[in-house]
Amino acid sequence: MIDIKLIRENRELVKENIKNKFQDEKLPLVDEVYELDKKVREVQVKADGLKADKNRLSGEIGKLMKDGKKEEAEEIKKEIAKTADEIVKLEEEQAELSKKVKEIMMVIPQIMDPSVPIGKDDSENVEVQKFGEPIVPSYEIPYHADIIERVCGMDKVSAGRTSGEGFYYLLGDIARLHEAMLACARDFMINAGFTYAIPPFMIHSDVVTGVMSFPEMEAMMYKIEGEDLYLIGTSEHSMIGKFKDQIIKKEELPINMTSYSPCFRKEGGSHGLEERGLYRVHQFEKQEMIVICEPEESMDWYEKMWKLTVDLFRSFDVPVRQLECCSGDLADLKVKSCDIEAWSPRQQKYFEVGSCSTLGDAQARRLGIRTKGEKGTYYLHTLNNTVVATPRGLIAVIENNYQEDGSIKIPKILQPYMGGKERIEPKK
């Protein structure tokens, strides 16, 4: 949510930002909220004037009563009562207008960073750089579900009976490799200076609307029936929510944390071959990182954060690339975002395994996350980034470490988490 002052002072900038995001249907909202905000302030001025009159009249009553002018005092009391009623009506009108202003402001997108490439959708995202050589071996790389089944590492049929489509059982060494990646990612982030946390896996609706836009919420979140609770789609939701309505001491900044959680997402629709495997599922696990910092530090943190994900995947022997998200692919709360994509030797292309974003003060403004400085209280900036999400990250490790004999080589960094095991062998 942007600052209303920007609407008051530079409507054209806000409109240009909307056009660059190819959301022209939202353009009328800028003028609408401008007029509503003007009415809010007009009503406020009128109410303040009446309150001043009421206070002045109240001061006259005592004097009149002292001078024995009871009838005049009674007339002023009636005038005060009438003024009080008008004030109540004006306050109700102001509250209703302010509510409409907030509803519209929640829909107007955040101002993007000037460096964001302009494009209509994810097909126009821009490759920035590659890390590691994308190798296609001389032998065939089977579909990841087939590789996993050959080592008896997955059971989607049973999961279909217990839970339906989009769920899975991981078994044996594959389940162990899955957890090894998460444990390694945890230790990697702790060594990078981040504080480890395990957050709540359910959050209230006011936290959900504080961390994401309404379309994202509807598309992603599972609602707990009969409760004001949602299952988190990523631990960023509850980690940023941790600081809701807080004024954080400057000496505590920046706050950099890494968190583990299961994640739950609707992920509707059919997606062909990928539907049979582990790429698009309703439940997965994730190591996340979040930062809350001073506004002038947010872009530096953005660069540090996505590079940490690159370093981790390179330690898994997985080639990756950084892909800059264009304006049309940028969620409304985001200032700038990039995806980290892993190389798939089977498909001979990259696929998304993580996303890094700076949201400016959008989430902080919605949730009331502030600090105090020499110029008063102001909103902080928030950032988030995927360290590793499995099973997508698991797919990348399996494909890039698949051997011609059907075994899976375990990256050296993960071997201590696998009891020293160096390979996962196919079952006869």
pLDDT along the chain (428 residues), means of 10: 93 97 97 96 94 84 76 83 91 95 94 97 96 95 95 93 92 97 98 98 94 80 93 95 97 97 78 66 95 97 98 98 97 96 97 96 96 93 97 96 96 98 92
CA–CA distances in Å: residue 32 to residues 26, 28, 104, 204: 10, 6, 9, 30
Note the pLDDT of residue 270.
Answer: 43
Distance from the Cα of residue 236 to its chain's centroid: 6
CATH class of the structural domain 122-424: alpha beta
Please give the DSSP secondary-structure letter assigned to residue 267. -
Q: Per residue, what are the HEC states of 83-127?
A: HHHHHHHHHHHHHHHHHHHHHHHCCCCCCCCCCCCCCCCHHHCEE
Instruction: Fill in the DSSP letter of residue 196.
Output: E
- CATH match for 4-105 among 3.40.30.120, 1.20.1070.10, 3.90.79.10, 1.10.287.40: 1.10.287.40
- The CA distance from 112 to 284, in Å, is 30
Looking at residue 67, what is its pLDDT? 76
Question: Beta strand 154-155 with 169-170: parallel, antiparallel or unpaired?
Answer: antiparallel
Structure tokens at 177: 């490799």
Place of tokens 């190798």: 135
Give me the residue label for tokens 């959680």.
261
Residue 354 CB coordination number (10 Å): 27
Q: In angstroms, rounded to a whole number, what is the distance separating the alpha carbons of residues 251 and 249?
A: 5
Spell out the domain ranges in the chain.
Answer: 4-105, 122-424
For residue 303, the number of C-alpha atoms closer than 13 Å in the C-beta half-sphere is: 4
Q: How far is CA 327 from CA 16, 40, 120, 251, 302, in A?
A: 12, 32, 7, 35, 17
User: String of b and e for 3-31 (b: at least 16 CB within 10 Å)?
Assistant: ebeebeeeeeebbebbebbebeebeebbe
Same fold, 4-105 and 122-424: no
DSSP for residue 326: P
Question: Can you say whether the dihedral through the CA atoms of 209, 212, 213, 214 is positive or negative?
Answer: negative
Q: Quick one: the chain helix, strand, coil %, rounded to 5?
A: 50, 20, 30
Identify the pLDDT of residue 69: 79
**pLDDT at position 79:** 86
Listed in order, strand segments (DSSP E) in 218-335 are 222-223, 230-231, 247-248, 255-264, 283-293, 320-324
Phi-psi region of 166 (alpha: psi -120 to 50; beta: other; left: phi over 0): left
Helix 11-20 and helix 27-66, axial crossing angle in degrees, nearest 10: 150
